[in-house]
Each structure stands twice: as C-alpha cells, then as structure tokens.
Amino acid sequence: MGSKEVAVETVDLEKVYGIGTLEFLALRGLTMKVEKGELVSIVGPSGSGKSTLLNMIGMLDQPTAGKVFVDGYDISTLNQRQRADFRNRYIGFIFQSHNLIARTTTLKNVELPALVSGMPGDERAEKAIDLLKRVGLGDKINRKPTELSGGEQQRVATARALINNPAIVLGDEPTGNLDSKTGSEIVQLMRDLNEEMNITFILVTHNPEVANATRRIIHLRDGKIEQDELLP
C-alpha cells in the first residue's frame, strides 16, 4: 500500500458553517487518504458531514482549516481561475440530481466538460461516443435526457464525469433517485469502470447495498471518521 499513488488526501480538515453563536462544526479534523484506483464509499447519519467532505474534495467549497490534496496538488494554493480549471480537468462529479441539460442530446451532454477544457471537436465526439458505448448507451446518443429512463440518465452522467479522464470521480448519492435494481446496475457499472480503467471513485451513499459493493467504507459521525473498513 505504502508505495501507491495517492488520489486524495485530507489533513486535519475542518469546516465551520455560520458565524458567532450560530457556528456549526461540520468537519472536525478529518484526516484520510484514498489511493489511486480505490473504490470507496462514505456513509454515516444525516448531518454527519458526508456532503461537506465531498464538497471540500471537489473544490465546491473551501475548508475553514486543514488541507486537501488532489492528485498530489495542495488545492488551497490555487486561485479561483485555476480551481475551476483544475476541477474540470481532474474531478468528475455525479450527483443525485444529475444536472443534465434537457434541451440537448446525450452526446452533447457528455461532451460538455471536454468542450470547456478545450479538447478538439473530433477527439471529443469520439471519446464521448466511446464512453456512451461503455455505459451501454451506444444506440441512444442522439436522444434527449427527457427521452431516457432514470437509470439511463444516471449512466449519461457517469459517462460525462469520465470524459476528461479525471483523477477522481465523486458521487453524492449517485443512485439516490433510482429503484434498487437500477441502483445496483449503476454501482456494478462503476465497479467495472474502476477495475477496467483504474478510475478512483468516492461515493457518498445511504444505501448499504451500494456501500457493500465498494471495496472500502469510511463511516463518518459528527464530522469525524468513526470507522474505516476494508471489505474483503
């Protein structure tokens, strides 16, 4: 384990929301390391800090104290512009509400982060089509999200998260809107992508089936790690 490359590391991470008497300590000195190629879930009671942690790693919000390293970079040293570039380049996001653009096609939705990062058009389309085939939607590239099922939309969001070859993919309840069978299929897809493409996944979930399908479960409670469990 020791010589493996680290995808994400947090050191004494703290997050305080609010001010004065309304202060709330959502993360209380959280230290953890996720190596490249891991498939990790983060579980814990509502309010335990799961989304807060994911938002810090994904640079959607800044910690009050402590450090986050992504792919070896101390992300606190980046300015706003660099953060946006870094986020687009290194981090793929899959959220419960998958935020697909309804008016455009599956293909264009998947291409979007690559358009932002400046990937040439031909390469972009080719890559998007490859990924859509990979997630089993090769025959639906010209559909609009409204013409897809919930599970299919989530697969589009997964393909979109992968287009820029991110170092890590973050999911906040990526199966939350799905029935349990479709949810299981999405986790199986992530397991396959993790194994075949060595993509690092960090998934926040309330669903024990999803957590048990990952290889490591980090349990949070009151903004701290309560248990760090490696699955067989």
Residue 47 site contact among Mg ion, ligand ATP, none (CB < 5 to 8 Å, cut-off depends on kind): ligand ATP
Cα(203)–Cα(34) distance, rounded to whole angstroms? 12
In this structure, the dihedral spanned by the alpha carbons of residues 43, 46, 51 and 52, taken in order and rounded to 10 degrees, is -110
The structure tokens 């792919």 sit at 71
Q: Which is nearer to ligand ATP, 28 or 216 (CB)?
A: 28
Residues 58-117 that bind ligand ATP (CB under 6 A): none
Q: What's the min distance (Å) between Cβ of 171 and ligand ATP? A: 12
Single out the segment in contact with Mg ion by CB under 5 A; choices: 51-59, 94-102, 133-141, 175-183.
Answer: 51-59
Does 51 interact with Mg ion (rule: CB under 5 A)? yes
In this structure, the dihedral spanned by the alpha carbons of residues 228, 36, 90 and 112, taken in order and rounded to 10 degrees, is -90
Count of positions on this chain that bind ligand ATP (CB under 6 A): 12
Residues 30-59 that bind ligand ATP (CB under 6 A): 44, 46-52
Single out the segment in contact with Mg ion by CB under 5 A; choices: 8-16, 33-41, 43-51, 95-103.
Answer: 43-51
Residues in CB range of 139: below 8 A, 6 or more apart: none
Tell me which residue of 139, 85, 141, 138 sits closest to 109, measured CA to CA.
Answer: 141
Q: Which residues bind Mg ion (CB under 5 A)?
A: 50-51
